[in-house]
A and B are shown apart, each in its own frame.
Chain A
Amino acid sequence: MANREERAAAVRHAFPPGSGVEEVGGVDLQTFRVDRKVLPAFARHLKDDPALDCRLLSDLCGVDYPDREQRFDVVYHLYSIDRGHRIRVKVPVREDDAVVPSLVSVWKAADWFEREAFDMFGIRFSGHPNLKRILCHPAFHGHPLRKDYDPGQRWLLREGEQLAPSWADEVQEDEDHFETQVLNLGPSHPATHGTLRAVVRLDGEVITQAEVEIGYLHRCFEKMAEQHTWNQVIPYTDRLNYCSAMMNGVGYALAVERLVGVTAPPRAQVIRLILSELSRIMDHIVDIGANLNDLGAMTPFLYMYEAREEIYSVLEACCGSRLTMSYVRIGGLSFDVPDDFESSVRYLLKRIPRLLDDMERLITDNRIFRERTEGVGAMSAADALDWGWTGPCLRASGVAYDIRKAEPYLGYETYDFKVPVSHAGDTYARYLVRVEEMRQSLEIVAQALGRMVPGPVIVDDHRVALPPKEEVYTEMESLIWHFKLVMEGMKVPRGEVYGYTEAANGELGFYIVSDGSGSPYRIKVRPPCFAIFQAFEHMLPGHMVSDAVAILGSMNVIAGELDR
């Protein structure tokens, strides 16, 4: 707590009481309530003061409190990579004057997050360069995450109303009368994987201008979460990053468990960790495979997909589902693993490295692959942080930030593994980092297998977990708990929490607000690839069209997580 005091002093020094900055009790994170007039200066101070050093804007979102006079809160979550602390900033605004100064000039990462808050709540950000809807389609009316918006109210988009960038119709001509050409990539394009769209201006084959459109898979996760009980949200979390469904559920459950104050039993933690690491491998396989596929190399994908199928069979044996597992429960897991779990995972530990070696022999020193990826889409460490990058993409740019090391959960501090880092920051570096991460994940799994202690897989706490069936049939009290949990759902104490885990793409954050009822008041997901992908349109100018495909593949943009 001493550090917390130091930070409070550093803030008080620049913003004395009465200047619009006030520290309010934050249970999980140090929280400041800030008047919007001083917000830009305060944000700049947070970033530049060496005692605060908040260089990473991890999340920005709105929250709606219709009963309050100042109806909306804009909530910022900040992180200091070097000092390892997090700060939450809240800016309350009134509904009739919902304007907040934009922080794009302080953190570039604010760009899309502010657009999302505008889209969802109608909060305007003054000074934002391109404030328009980002997830909902342009013919949409209203702001869906406001509490008074009916969750089923749809609006029809006609074909002619689709959005093109304002510059798409301009004709540019140089003195030799060479015209530039505007090219639309996606949303249905083999390299954009169905749901991403980029409009680029070409001078010859070189991109001079680009704009990205997302939201083609916006399926309203956050609104749906508010309509369901706490445990019913888990199947929705599986469909965020569906390439590694387990990790989303674990991240969500850990955040809610922090709010409730329970911890999963040791056996459940080890199983969660093993399956999370296997999911990380699956995710990297899809990313590398799809990236190579887009570059014209079909074989590695076919080779590596075999590893995925092998992992699928283990997952299916655990919970009956291959892809979207819904295996996690708040407080543990839904069932124990099958008896042959250890032996089948040991088989994977033997099999996957061989497939990895096969792939590496084909790709790592492949001249075509290296020439298409080395130096392509390079990102410096400072820029990557400014854009809010996390995960393998950030580590490929030379910042060794991995939540498993920085703020361990599930007992990661007791495992011996390395965090691969590269300094090139280009597409090839991102490939190398992912390959090494897969090998490190295998290391972790091998160590975890030795720690499979026998015991229960869900907490023995009837506020959160269903009592065992035999007790329900024989004991009155258990029957009552069962009834209440099924009919009303578990109750989570009033409060808020920002939970974060290292998912396959980076920091997966869940900002959860509870009003004490049986369903969440607000869940904001901090999707790692949302922050990563917003840099894409700024990386493109100067590259060729074919490079755009290589860069996009290396970012591992998963639409379910991007658009939610």
Chain B
Amino acid sequence: MGDDAVKPSPPPTAGAGEGPGAARRRPDGSQIFLTTRFEQMLNAARKNSLWPFPMGTACCGIEFMSFMMSHYDISRFGAEVVRFSPRQSDLLIVAGTITDKMAPVMVRIYEQMAEPRYVISMGVCACTGGFYRAYHVVQGIDEFIPVDVYVPGCPPTPEALLQGVVKLQEMIERGETQYQRAIAARKAAQAAVGG
């Protein structure tokens, strides 16, 4: 469980136990329950059980395998359950060059994924096209789908990708991913028109 995600309420002062949001305590002083916002609890759960869909198309796919294997071991960060069906996954890791021929496939996969969904762009090819300034290569997958974390490198080391996953977890916790921001913006717009 994340340390900051579920915040215990402040220590009881005189008159604690009155009113909502205050911690109830047993006679020995131990806490009975804590309060948090529902959204925060959800985010804490989401960030610690990411289900990646590995879209390993090229060299980065080989480093992605290193990242999965015992030496680097992504399961330490709770994201080891790789799914090859987009419908069972919520984290798209695009590992490798995406060509114009592959782009519609990638968009389709992204649209099929379970919501809320996140995207990590692994390697410079996925981020910007890399050194393939060429007639058949997408110059960055953000031409087609929103990206949360860019991990540069050609290919990035597994450590870099691990850090990318940790960054994404921090973003999920703070509600800063592209998906969460889009939802927040929609809610704000609905509130503004009184919906």
Q: Which residues of chain A have a CB within 8 Å of any CB of chain B? A: 135-137, 140, 144, 149-159, 162, 187-190, 193-195, 215-220, 223-224, 235-236, 239, 242-243, 286, 302, 305-306, 308-309, 312, 322-324, 559-560
Contact = CB atoms under 8 A, between A and B. Distances in A.
Contacts of A150: 135
A157 B66 CA distance: 32
B135 A144 contact: yes
17 contacts: A151-B135, A162-B104, A194-B56, A215-B101, A216-B57, A216-B101, A217-B58, A219-B99, A219-B136, A220-B135, A220-B136, A305-B65, A305-B70, A323-B155, A324-B154, A559-B58, A560-B58
B135 A194 contact: no
A153 B105 contact: no
Nearest to B56: A194
A218 B58 contact: no
B133 interface: yes
B37 interface: no
B7 to A, nearest CB: 39
B99 A218 contact: yes
A159 B144 CA distance: 12
Contacts of A239: 58-59
Given A159-B107, A216-B102, A302-B69, 6 more contacts: A157-B100, A194-B56, A286-B62, A323-B62, A559-B57, A560-B58
Interface of B: 55-59, 61-63, 65-66, 69-71, 84, 96-97, 99-105, 107-109, 125, 131-137, 154-155, 157
Given A137-B100, A188-B55, A559-B57, A224 B69 contact: no
Residue among B61, B69, B125, B136 with the highest chain A CB neighbour number at 10 A:
B136
A193 B56 contact: yes
A552 to B, nearest CB: 15
A193 B58 CA distance: 9
Contacts of B58: 194-195, 217, 219, 239, 242, 559-560
B104 to A, nearest CB: 4
A193 B59 contact: no
Secondary structure call for the A interface: loop
Given A188-B109, A323-B155, A302 B70 contact: yes
B84 A324 contact: no
Contacts of A223: 134-135
B135 A322 contact: no
A41 to B, nearest CB: 37
Contacts of A236: 131
B70 A306 contact: yes
B61 A193 contact: yes
Taking chain B's interface residues, is the majority helix, strand, or loop, or is none over half, making it mixed?
loop
Contacts of A156: 100
A219 B102 contact: no
B76 to A, nearest CB: 16
A243 B57 contact: no
Contact of B102 (A187, A193, A322, A323): A187
Given A187-B102, A219-B97, A220-B137, A323 B59 contact: yes
A559 B70 CA distance: 25
Nearest to A136: B136
The winner among A154, A156, A193 for most chain B CB atoms within 10 A is A154
A159 B61 contact: no
A242 B62 contact: yes
Contacts of A312: 66
Contacts of B100: 137, 140, 154-157
A324 B124 CA distance: 13
B104 A159 contact: yes
B134 A219 contact: yes
A-B pairs with lowest CB-CB distance, top 5: A220-B134, A242-B59, A137-B101, A190-B84, A159-B104
Contact of B104 (A153, A157, A224, A242): A157
A154 B155 CA distance: 24
Nearest to B86: A188
Nearest to A156: B100
A242 B123 CA distance: 14
Contact of A187 (B70, B105, B131): B105
Given A217-B99, A219-B134, A324 B105 contact: no
Contact of B131 (A153, A190, A216, A235): A235
A153 B66 CA distance: 35
Contact of A136 (B101, B102, B107, B155): B101
Contact of A194 (B70, B96, B134, B157): B96
Contact of A158 (B97, B104, B133, B135): B104
A195 B59 CA distance: 12
B128 to A, nearest CB: 13
B137 to A, nearest CB: 5
A464 B157 CA distance: 31
A217 to B, nearest CB: 6
B125 to A, nearest CB: 8
Contacts of B55: 188, 194
B159 to A, nearest CB: 11
Contact of B105 (A188, A193, A309): A188
A344 B137 CA distance: 39
A399 B20 CA distance: 81
Contacts of B57: 194-195, 216-217, 559
Nearest to B139: A154
A153 B62 contact: no
A38 B165 CA distance: 61
A223 to B, nearest CB: 6
Contact of B135 (A152, A193, A242): A152
A305 B65 CA distance: 9
Contacts of B61: 193-194
A458 B166 CA distance: 42
Contacts of B109: 188
Contacts of A286: 62, 65
